[in-house]
Amino acid sequence: MNVKNIKHVLGTLILICSICYITDKLIFFTLNKISDNVYTGLAIGKLNHYLKIKESKKLLVFGSSRANLHVDPYILDTSSFNMGLNARNIAFVTTVIKLIENKKPQTLLIQIDDSTLFNEDYDGKDLDALLVKYHRNPLIKKEIDKLNKANPFLNFFWSLSYNNRIFGIILNYIKPKYDYTKYRGFDAVEPTEHEKEVFQNFVKNKKPKGCPDSVHLNKLSYNCFLELIEYAKNNNKKLIFFTAPFYDDECKIDNEELFSLTKKLNLEYFDFTDTFRYDTSLDNWRDEAHLSKIGAIKFTHKLKEEILKNSKNFPL
Amino acid sequence: MLFNSAHFAIFFPIIFLLYWLIPNNRVKQQNILLFISSYFFYACWDWRFLFLLIFSTLLDYFTGIQMSNSKNQDQKKIWFLISVITNLSFLGFFKYYNFFIESFISLSTKLGFHANPHTLKIILPVGISFYTLHGLSYVIDIYRDRIKAENNFIDYAVFVSFFPLLVAGPIERATHLLPQVKSKRIFSNSRFNEGILQITIGLFRKIVIADSLAIYVDWVYREPNIFNSSSLILAAIFYAFQIYYDFAGYSDIAIGTGKLLGFDLLQNFNLPYFATSITEFWRKWHMSLSYWLRDYLYIELGGNRNGKLKTYRNLLLTMLIGGLWHGSNWTFVVWGGLHGLFLCIEKYVRPNSYYKFLKKISYLGYIYTFVLVSFAFIYFRSPDIQTANVMVGRILSGNYQLPIISDYNAMLITIVVLMIGFTFDLYLRITNQSIEYLGSKIKFSSMIFLISFTIMLMVLFFANSTNFIYFQF
């Protein structure tokens, strides 16, 4: 390799890096402009909506799709919002809760799943849903960096935070999916005929999976609990945890562990895992982990009833 | 260490710099560096299997020398057989032991016997199928007097273990690669341009197109019996593209990496879905394997020299063995068998006007080839024959409603990136260009634009990366 070759290699690489760097920033700032006006859809809309109303609601619901599809917050209180999102767990929930900056009394209803809390492999990957705000929100950046969940290339390619979200954002910008001012964050599901058929087949062919002899609480999940308790204490928030129904939860060892953990931490917790167990009509279900709209409405009423039994001032 | 990992992004630039900084491009020193870096590359996966690689290399190196030094043909044959049998025994043990034992148990049970031989927990050493074929081609070529044995161990070891092609090919020939290993490599700007463009496009094909397609394919293949016919057809079509972009992407990175180090590796894919027949398809798909099978198996079996019936037998056998080479599962055997059958039928009807007609209307030929290839891939992708049969049965059941889609955003991205990939292939086809030389054929500014554009597409659309499909073989 001679000097001419070295010049060519360096020149080519520098040129490519410069063009990519400039293009990346142009794309990033353009997408910021667009996405700031998007309040619908899961790519960024729901998060933007939440960031807009989080301080003003008395009751906020958090969790995975098993919160999003199961809890109609309007039944619990008219000043409410369901921030449940598909495949999001305790690390995501803890971060979005910490984004609430006021010290106004609010009730935070958090859905938790023992399958995640006792999963030793759980590493907070669900935080990637917040990558879209990585370069724009210091708290989100801090939380993502803390768990080392940022792609190292994000420091060079800022638009990497919009990875695989671009169409969702643009489509919702051009034509919002719904009127977000009327949206409460509850996405009820009415199963299609195909889904009903699939679920019926599942019920018919279901075989026992077997249960573990012991379960261990994931360290990250435990830290999230501690952070939430600390946050709630300092910011006048009331935390209520619950586990949503499963069609057939064979193993009880994790439920028992979770129950004793919440007792130890002095947390208000309701276990609704078996609320519709072996429901023979199947109308309440979409699949083994998710209720249908009918089931979700029934469940929300039941949730309200149980919370009110324990607590007079709900929501705060 | 995967090509699409951060580790490789650190590893390769270091090797590239050290390699070209060796004064006067001294071949000996460069080969020592390639030897060490290739073994390091392999050890990153599992250092214990380095011993197997070293053993296999030493075996072929010494048997090669012994064959060259043999005084008569019988002695030469003995050394040749020692090498072939040992190589195939290792491959057979690591790759097929459990498969044959389980098939034996299954057959015995069906016949009413209760055989109970032990299966073993065997880890398949990555790349064994590829470096075994390297070694075999070397000893066969010496046995057939096509080449002379290599006396320099480092040079031979670099031929077997050259890291760009160590784990998944392209499967090189000693006649093609060894002379390059032995001669002085000269850095050229045009070769550098070709290399970086091909690497970038290979990465795009893998982490954007193939991995996006994998989302739908994996979802459907997990439980095919709950999907309607249209969804299964869509998954079959997507898989045909997924495996192409996955493996062609891998090959692009391997060939591009080789170019940056001054090597020309064998072309592995040449727009296979623009083939008008299965025969032509095999001249464009995994070319380094198909030509290996042709030269070292089909022709060795007699090829088409002993009449029609024996030609069909040889074709079928070659494809069955080629299928089994991919993995220890009957699904691969069926896949190979189907291709063998298609090739035999084409050979039979070739003189007829039907085939000529098909060849003339190339679009019809493309569709005909793609349908057959996608159909055979159902067996290749399925975890077992039963699942593949369920897929085929449900496709034919006539439930042709709209395909079931769970994530419309992911589907939209998949279709868009597939169209980008396909348009690029179409461009290569229309302009009669080869991706291997594109970097030096287009203007420098166009190359810079194409690379930057592809990188930005990767940033915006890369999907969560899965392993390269061919690593499992």
Contact A19 B189 (CB under 8 A): no
- Mean pLDDT across the stretch B431-445? 92
- What confidence score (pLDDT) does residue A294 get? 92
Q: Quick one: pLDDT band at residue B110, thresholds 50, 70, 90?
A: confident
Burial class (CB in 10 A: 0-12, 13-18, 19+), A109: buried
Confidence (pTM): 0.87
- What confidence score (pLDDT) does residue B61 get? 93
Q: Residue B441 contacts by C-beta under 8 Å, 6 or more apart in sequence?
A: B433
B465 contacts B4 by C-beta, under 8 angstroms: yes
Kindly report, residue by residue over B238-260, the tens digit of the pLDDT: 999 999 999 999 999 999 999 99
- Catalytic residue numbers of B, as ranges: 326
Record the tokens describing residue B121, joined without a space. Answer: 């927990």
Average pLDDT over chain A reads: 90
What ipTM did this prediction achieve?
A: 0.84
Query: Is the backbone peptide bond immediately before A208 cis, with ω within 30 degrees of 0?
Result: no
| Whether the predicted pLDDT of B291 surpasses 90 | yes
Record the tokens describing residue B369, joined without a space. Answer: 């080839």
Question: Picking from A182-186, A296-300, B223-227, B390-394, which range would have the lowest pLDDT averaged per residue?
Answer: B223-227
Contact B21 A19 (CB under 8 A): no
- What confidence score (pLDDT) does residue B427 get? 94
Q: Mapping DSSP to helix (H, G, I), strand (E, B) and coil, where does residue A108 land? A: strand
Question: Picking from A264-268, A308-312, B96-100, B224-228, which range would have the lowest pLDDT averaged per residue?
Answer: B96-100
Contact B462 A157 (CB under 8 A): no
A291 contacts A70 by C-beta, under 8 angstroms: yes
Answer whether A5 touches B (CB < 8 Å): yes
Q: Which of B228, B390, B459, B465 to mutate to test the interface with A (most CBs of A within 10 A)?
A: B459
A160 contacts A154 by C-beta, under 8 angstroms: yes
Record the tokens describing residue A130, joined without a space. Answer: 């917040």
Q: Residue B255 contacts by C-beta under 8 Å, 6 or more apart in sequence?
A: B164, B170, B198, B265, B267, B268, B436
- Residue appearing with tokens 């072929």: B60
**Chain A closest-CA separation from residue B413 CA (Å):** 7
CA angle in degrees (0–180, nearest 5) for B176-B172-B90: 135
- What confidence score (pLDDT) does residue B214 get? 93
Most distant CA pair in chain A, distance: 82
Question: Picking from B323-337, B341-355, B397-411, which range would have the lowest pLDDT averaged per residue?
Answer: B341-355
Neighbouring CB atoms inside 10 A of A84's CB total 27
CA angle in degrees (0–180, nearest 5) for A129-A133-A139: 100
- Mean pLDDT across the stretch B199-220? 94
| Whether the predicted pLDDT of B139 surpasses 80 | yes
| Whether the predicted pLDDT of B473 surpasses 60 | no
CA distance B287 to B275: 13
User: Sign of the CA dihedral B254, B257, B259, B262?
Assistant: negative
Record the tokens describing residue B402, joined without a space. Answer: 């709209």
User: Sign of the CA dihedral B242, B248, B252, B255?
Assistant: positive
CA distance B181 to B163: 13
CA distance B436 to B429: 13
Terminal CA-CA length for chain B = 16
Instruction: Tell which A residues from 198 to 257 touch B, by Cβ distance under 8 Å.
Output: 198, 201
CA angle in degrees (0–180, nearest 5) for A53-A55-A60: 75
Answer whether A154 touches B (CB < 8 Å): no
CA distance B210 to B201: 12
- What confidence score (pLDDT) does residue B131 get? 85
- What confidence score (pLDDT) does residue B114 get? 67
A32 contacts A173 by C-beta, under 8 angstroms: no
Q: Shortest CA distance to B95 belongs to which of B126, B55, B56, B124?
A: B124
Q: Which of A26, A164, A170 to mutate to test the interface with B (most CBs of B within 10 A)?
A: A164
Question: Picking from A280-284, A306-310, B187-191, B265-269, which range would have the lowest pLDDT averaged per residue?
Answer: A280-284
- Residue appearing with tokens 């609704």: A272
- Mean pLDDT across the stretch A41-59? 91
A59 contacts A109 by C-beta, under 8 angstroms: yes
